[in-house]
Amino acid sequence: MRLLFLGDVVGRSGRKAVLAALPDLRRRYALDFVAINGENAAGGYGITESILFDLLDAGADVVTLGNHAFDQKDALVFIERHDRLLRPINYPQGTPGRGAGLFKAPNGADVLVINAMGRIFMPELDCPFRAIEAEIAACGLKQGTDAIVIDFHAEATSEKQALGYFVDGRASAVVGTHTHAPTADERVLPAGTAFISDIGMCGDYNSVLGMDTEEPVNRFLTRIPRQRFEPAMGPGTLSGLAVEIDDATGLAFRCMAFRSGPHLEPATPDAWAI
């Protein structure tokens, strides 16, 4: 199985880049499953239902969220209507939406996707480790599903790496999101779980985390907000992780950083091209 996970879509720049490129990426690399973190897709703050439809229509199989999941208040309502939109599983009981889903890939494989949020330097939620453990126990690799992919939306690399080793050999991939800066530690862990601390964002990298530079710089200099953060509007770069999963075991045997667009050095799985 060939999986592509794209990082946090930030504003119009990120949306345009994803919508323009994703249909061709699915064809060119014969992708079996595509996941996208969309929690900053609506002007940098949450996601709207129309944007969700756009991402799904472009070729995403599932869209995950994070700490901005409900910035768009309508999300509290429409998230209940969409099985392919996930918010972090460790939100308190009663929070609208779901944190995990079992999805059928076009090749017929079942893929369990889990969205969880870290707790270090983040809003205090329930324990992500225990929440993920419960999902894996209920639907294990080659028992209830052919692949397990975890989007761990977290700030601290230590927390992300700890989770990677916690599920190593029991999940196909652990993909870190949230920091909007791609790390260079993509690898397959010893027991067969693909891992990266952060896949970065899909958006304008001539920015501060996808936002126009003026206001972030002002706040660091003065500590006084002057205006709302606004997404940078330059050309967008796609950033993510490509993973090859063994159909027999559900574990990864190769993963590669994916970057396409201006400002970052390109990295694509050209060996997959058809």
What positions carry a catalytic annotation? 68
Cα separation, 252 vs 241, in Å, equals 12
Longest dimension (CA), the chain: 56
Burial class of residue 246, CB neighbours in 10 A (0-12, 13-18, 19+): middle
Cα separation, 86 vs 107, in Å, equals 22
Nearest to 187, CA basis, from 173, 201, 170: 173
Q: Under a CB-based contact definition with an 8 Å cutoff, are residues 152 and 175 in contact?
A: yes
Tell me the two tokens of residue 118: 């870290």
Residue 220 DSSP symbol: H
